[in-house]
Structure 1
Amino acid sequence: MSRPPLAGEETGAVDTAAPAPPGLWRNRDFNLLWTGQCLSDLGGAMADLALPLLVLQQTGSPTRAGVVGTAGLITTLVCRLPAGVLADRFDRRRLMIVCDLLRLAVYALLGWAVLKGAAGLPVILVVVIAGAAATAVFSTAEHASVRSLVRPDQLAFAVARNEARTYGTSLAGPPLGGLLFGLGRSLPFLGNALSFLVSLVAVRCIGRPLQQPRAEPAAPVGASTAEGLRFLLGHPFLRALLVIAAPLNMAFTGMIFAMTLALRRAGVAPVTVGLAGTVFALGGLLGAFAAPALQRRLRLPVLITLLCWTTAALMAVSTLLSGTVLAAVPLAAAVFLGPTANAALFGHQAAVTPDHLQGRVVSGVLLAAGSAAALAPALAGALLSRWPPAPAMLVFPALVLLAALTATFSKGIRTMPT
């Protein structure tokens, strides 16, 4: 489908004397969206740490704290496909504003309830479920909107910027959330509500449309969902993306979870275990900054294949060091390579998917990857209960091996244009 030209793009003959179009850092609309989501993600990371602490303090039950976390994950997975339909059916800007309003309201309500001593488990569950549903819709609409805000040659770099945002907030959010919770139990939740207000204002200030005009009336929900899935499964590259993204996400989640359990079993102090988690996130953050340079130097098929095989090897090395802090080093190196793969794959996905299908295709990919990752902690726990850490954790590099074989032999990857 055609796309309206961005500011600085030529629609006629090429003028070799014209100045180069502005870079991504000078793209006002993308930077508004990115900055708003930086603060929103930071608020979410603060609340994610504070919620189980609040439940433990209120009930004294780790099981109930786990139920709250599981409720959020299940809600996100259930809402993924409907979120894609909504992102393609309605105005994406208005949809994101409504989601921010809902999240602002429920987390402000939770902060107020904590202040009044009325934040029981039912209130917390309602807030978590409503917030997770709104976040699933918002994130899908945001993914689908990026294609309308940046030039085609900037798509992969925009995804890399978003990866850096994710890893950066995962580094800063939990310590800040813990600090605020110590100062006042309501502060992380009120801070999260404030972050959604900032996100709302940023989205409202974006000047460009976040989707192309819809010339045809929307199909019924069932037919609309089926149309997106048919396109996703019928496109060679997108089929390969599913087979690569799902095992990669599952392997990373499972390795990090299993590494944490193995370190605790070996008697490593909790503060050192936490430091290992920081190393993982720092590896991803540095990898996100390096992603544009790696993408410029390697063709996409070579890049994806190299990253998958390298990640499988690094994870295998990490299993040999399981139970020691040194195991975090090769795993951090593997996480370092992840943002480049995500940027290349999801940037290309945005380029090959028509705008009117972006939401449904993105939601399908995120559903597949998220479902696999959600199973990883349970799989890691079951494996570690049966075998020693090293052989148990070899399952996860084996999953990455599946992704590497797909990247090597899949026609959808080998025929990717530069």
Structure 2
Amino acid sequence: MRPNSEDAVATTRTERPPSLWRNRAFNLLWGSQCLSDLGSAMANLAMPLLVLQLTGSPTQAGLVGTTSLLVGLVCRLPAGVLADRLDRRRLMIVCDGFRIVAYAVLWGAVLAGEAGVTMVLVVVVGGAAANALFSTVEHAAVRNLVPSTELATAVARNEARSYGTSLAGPPLGGLLFGLGRSLPFLGNALSYLLSLVAVLLIRQPMQQPREQSAQSGGAAGVEGLRFVLGNPFLRALLLIAAPLNMAFTGMMFAIVVSLQRAGASSFVVGLASTIFGLGGFLGAFAAPALQRWMRLPTLILVLCWVSAGLIAVSSLFSTGVLAAVPLAAAVFLGPTANSALFGYQAAITPDHLQGRVVSVILLVAMSATALAPGLAGLLLAHFSSGTVMLVFALILAVSAVTATFGSGIRTMSTEP
């Protein structure tokens, strides 16, 4: 008889669990999503380029990214409800099936010269909704695929996947778009096909057995929000994550704009983005070791205060590519904190609430991130680049103060 997910979560401390690299279910999901994320990164670069070629309008090209972001935000909470109510494997299969068809149709239309802005927007809207649902389901399912002792390591590997694909995807997407503007969309469709095959091969349950809920969708969503706000740790996490993400995103935007103002080449601007991403990529590999050295509350404090200081240092190099180096050093700590925090969250949250709790956390973090470019642009219109970067250092200091004096962090147990 195969052990159920409760047995996986309650792995005894006297018996060392098998290495995560030998976990067939997790590796199938992780490996397939490496390819899926790579395909998404290629398509995300190609979409605005395609619209720009079709219309010649930078405004309409920018509309693609804005639409994708807004749809993802709107769908995040409903995605959490669906992840907790319906079969998670089937939801993943439906998402992948839809994305395969959508991007295959777009590929064919671009290849035939029949693609228009309306079709692109339909694919963007549908793809963003499917991405929000799939990612929420994946977050919720991980707790059932790995032992509790491996949750933080699993999240760290997902962080490495995210940073790695964000580094490799755009250059590859640009290369394929140059060879043939339909190729990135074909590559994305194929990546979702491989994801679908991998999900079908996973035999381990992705959720615990549960009774059919009589709650309405709105009431179910409120239950997840109530759980988050009622837990001191999760409540503190929201207060810390929102300004933290806003500061990092705003800083990266400010660096890019500052370099462009200073007349830097596109290569230098791209180099700054690469340095930023490389910091997170390397940090994801170092995360397991760093977690062994620092208790979770200490890790949160170090991340917040050190990052605030490093961002302040970046302001001294506001018009040069060196501004990205201290920022990359700050991002280096990010995957360690994310893996520890989300691993802890997964362990303390009941399985039937995993999707909703994850969706609330991601919604708050992403909402603050969405405001960052606008805030940075507004500040840069009136102040120098160095001053704007110091503003984001102060915003990050808000997270540091919350982590230092917030009771949710200070009284948090290091064991779920």
- TM-score norm. by structure 1 comes to 0.96
Q: Distance in 2 between matches of 1:8 and 1:284?
A: 31
Which residue of structure 1 aligns with residue 93 of structure 2?
Answer: 97
- 1:4 shift after superposition: 2.5
Q: Tell me, yes or no, if structure 1 residue 4 matches structure 2 residue 6.
A: yes
- Note the C-alpha offset of 1:9: 4.3
- Superposition deviation, residue 3 in structure 1: 4.4
Q: Deviations over 1:106-136 (max 9, x none)?
A: 1111101101111110000000000000000
CA pair 416-153 structure 1, distance change in 2 beyond 3 A: farther
**2:53 paired residue among 35, 50, 57:** 57
Counterpart in 1 of 2:157? 161
Q: Deviation of residue 147 (structure 1)? A: 0.5
Verify the 8 A CA contact 1:47 1:189 in the aligned structure 2.
yes
Total equivalences in the alignment? 411
Counterpart residue number, 1:219: 215
Matched residue, 1:187: 183
Which residue number corresponds to residue 318 of structure 2? 322
Q: 5+ unaligned residues in a row in structure 2: which ranges?
A: none
1:355-378 Cα offsets, whole Å, 9 max, x none, are 000000100000000010011111
Say if 1:287 and 1:335, in contact at 8 Å, map to a contact too: yes
Deviation at 1:267, TM superposition (A): 1.2
Question: Using the alignment, how far apart are the partners of 1:273 and 1:401 within structure 2?
Answer: 27
- Give 1:235 shift: 0.6
Alpha-carbon distance between aligned partners in 2 of 1:180 and 1:229, rounded to the nearest angstrom? 42
Partner residue in 2 for 1:278? 274
Corresponding residue for residue 67 of structure 1? 63
Instruction: Give the whole-Å Cα distance in 2 for the aligned partners of 1:156 and 1:106.
Output: 34
The residue that corresponds to 1:311 in the other structure is 307
Determine whether 1:76 maps to 2:72: yes
Matches of 2:175 and 2:106, distance apart in 1: 18
Matched, 1:398 2:400: no
Please name the residue that 1:21 is paired with: 17
Alpha-carbon shift at residue 413 of structure 1 (Å): 1.3
Give deviations 1:29-52, integer Å, cap 9, x for gaps.
111110011000000000011111
Q: Does 1:347 align with 2:349?
A: no
2:310–2:329 contact (8 Å) kept in structure 1: yes
After the TM superposition, which residues 108-123 of structure 1 pair with which residues of structure 2 at under 5 Å, given as runs? 108-123=104-119
Give the AA of the match of 1:417: S
- Counterpart of 1:258? 254
Contact 1:323/1:389 (CA < 8 Å) preserved in 2? Answer: yes
Q: Tell me, yes or no, if the aligned pair for 1:262 and 1:389 is still in contact at 8 Å.
A: yes
Aligned equivalents of 1:102, 1:241: Cα separation in 2: 33
The sequence identity of aligned pairs, in percent, is 68
**C-alpha deviations, 1:136-193, integer Å up to 9, x for none?**
0000000000111111111111111000000000011011101111111110001000
1:128 alignment partner in structure 2: 124
Shift of residue 23, structure 1, vs aligned partner: 1.1
Moved more, 122-131 or 408-417: 408-417
Q: Using the TM superposition, give the Cα deviation of residue 217 of structure 1 relative to its aligned residue in structure 2, in angstroms.
A: 2.6
Alpha-carbon distance in structure 2 between the residues aligned to 1:414 and 1:352: 17
Give the Cα separation in 2 of the matches to 1:278 and 1:231.
Answer: 38
Q: Any runs of at least 4 consecutive aligned residues in structure 1 with deviations exceeding 4 A, and if so which? A: 7-10
Q: Which amino acid aligns with 1:5?
A: D
Shift of 1:69: 0.9
In 2, are the aligned partners of 1:8 and 1:22 still within 8 Å (CA)? no
CA contact (8 A) 2:5 2:205 kept: no
Asked if the contact 1:42–1:172 (Cα under 8 Å) also holds between the matched residues in 2, the reply is yes
Q: Which amino acid aligns with 1:33?
A: L
Distance in structure 1 (CA, Å) of the matches to 2:310 and 2:171 = 28
2: CA distance, partners of 1:209 / 1:340: 27
Q: Classify the secondary structure of the residue corresponding to 2:177.
A: helix
C-alpha separation between the residues in 2 aligned to 1:143 and 1:286?
22
